[in-house]
């Protein structure tokens, strides 16, 4: 299987174009608009390379397939639709987190995920 720079660029461009984290399958579908013939194995290989270079981050949400986003989007959180499993970006952080922290606890990192139903699934349910 050939593994060209062009294919890697198509994969990275797909992630940059997207306004939310994408699964490997979604990346493959998007990248094939730019460069035909990209298989899942190629997507995973490219993702591994990008993650090793800290260009791409894996977004891990329990119960969801792993998804990926460009690493330069800054600190933010995610919302996940419990029906279609799509993951969405939330802008920035939440206010007032400091108030939750016990005095004898030093926070090193945090992760916040909102679970719900996306507009598409909500509209489908409303018929």
| Nearest-approach distance from CB 63 to Zn ion, in angstroms | 14
HEC readout, the chain: CCCCHHHHHHHHHHHHHCCCCEEHHHHHHHHHHHCCCCCHHHHHHHHHHHHHCCCEEEECCCCCCCEEEECCCCCCEEEEECCCCCEEEECCCCCCHHHHCCCCCCCCCCCCEEEECCHHHHHHHHC
Only segment of 3-11, 40-48, 59-67, 87-95 that touches Zn ion (CB under 5 A): 87-95
Would you say 78 is a known binding-site residue?
A: no
The single residue among 6, 17, 65, 84 that binds Zn ion, judged by CB under 5 A, is: 84
Indicate the residue among 47 and 118 with the shorter CB distance to Zn ion. Answer: 118
Mask: binding to Zn ion, 92-111, rule CB under 5 A, as x and -? -x------------------
Q: Which positions touch Zn ion (CB under 5 A)?
A: 81, 83-84, 93, 118, 121
């Amino acid at each position: 299987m050939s593994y060209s720079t062009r294919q890697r660029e198509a994969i990275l461009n797909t992630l940059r174009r997207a306004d939310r984290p994408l699964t490997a399958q979604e990346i493959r579908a998007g990248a094939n608009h730019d460069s035909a013939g990209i298989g899942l194995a190629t997507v995973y290989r490219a993702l591994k390379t990008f993650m090793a270079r800290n260009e791409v981050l894996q977004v891990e949400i329990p119960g969801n397939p792993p998804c990926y986003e460009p690493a330069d989007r800054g600190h933010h959180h995610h919302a996940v639709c419990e029906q279609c499993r799509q993951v969405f970006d939330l802008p920035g952080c939440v206010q007032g987190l400091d108030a939750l922290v016990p005095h004898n606890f030093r926070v090193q990192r945090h992760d916040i995920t909102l679970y719900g139903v996306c507009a598409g699934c909500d509209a489908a349910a409303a018929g």
